[in-house]
């Protein structure tokens, strides 16, 4: 069994400030890791994923996340946020052993103030 903990339910920041959304997971096997973003009244969209290779993964809109196996973390960062980044962010993990059912965190609401 696996679990995902998103340590902050809400993160308020000012525009152009850096932000980090924290995600920790537990699993008895190797994992795939994902960050999804949900804008108001929409479904979830994949932001970035770690499947293998480099532990630092980047999205096209400036977010990045680093897989840290020793700390079982996959924190999401952006050096300078925009108003348009205001959304709900979900971390998810699935095991490499064949199960295709991811476990989601409860979400972090990123609120960017002007």
Binding site for other proteins (CB under 8 A): 9, 32, 34, 36, 41-46, 49, 51, 90, 92-95, 99-102, 104-107
What is the rounded distance in angstroms from the CA atom of residue 15 to the CA atom of residue 55?
A: 28
Task: Output 52 or 114, the one with its CB closest to other proteins.
Answer: 52
Task: Output 78 or 102, the one with its CB closest to other proteins.
Answer: 102
- Residue 96 CB, shortest distance to other proteins, in Å, is 8
Task: Output 19 or 36, the one with its CB closest to other proteins.
Answer: 36
Cβ neighbours of 43 (radius 10 Å) = 7
Task: Output 30 or 80, the one with its CB closest to other proteins.
Answer: 30
Distances in Å between the Cα of 93 and the Cα atoms of 13, 18, 69, 71, 74 are 26, 25, 13, 15, 10
- Residue 11 CB, shortest distance to other proteins, in Å, is 15
- Residue 16 CB, shortest distance to other proteins, in Å, is 28
What is the rounded distance in angstroms from the CA atom of residue 3 to the CA atom of residue 64?
A: 22
């Amino acid at each position: 069994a696996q679990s995902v903990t998103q340590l902050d339910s809400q993160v308020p920041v000012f525009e152009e400030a850096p932000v980090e959304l924290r995600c920790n997971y537990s699993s008895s096997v190797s994992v795939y890791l994902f960050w999804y973003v949900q804008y108001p009244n929409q479904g979830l969209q994949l932001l970035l994923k770690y499947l293998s290779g480099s532990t630092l993964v980047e999205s096209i809109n400036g977010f990045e996340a680093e897989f840290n196996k020793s700390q079982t973390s996959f924190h999401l960062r952006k050096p300078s946020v925009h108003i348009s980044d205001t959304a709900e962010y979900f971390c998810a993990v699935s095991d490499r052993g064949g199960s295709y059912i991811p476990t989601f965190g409860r979400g972090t609401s990123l609120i960017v103030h002007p």
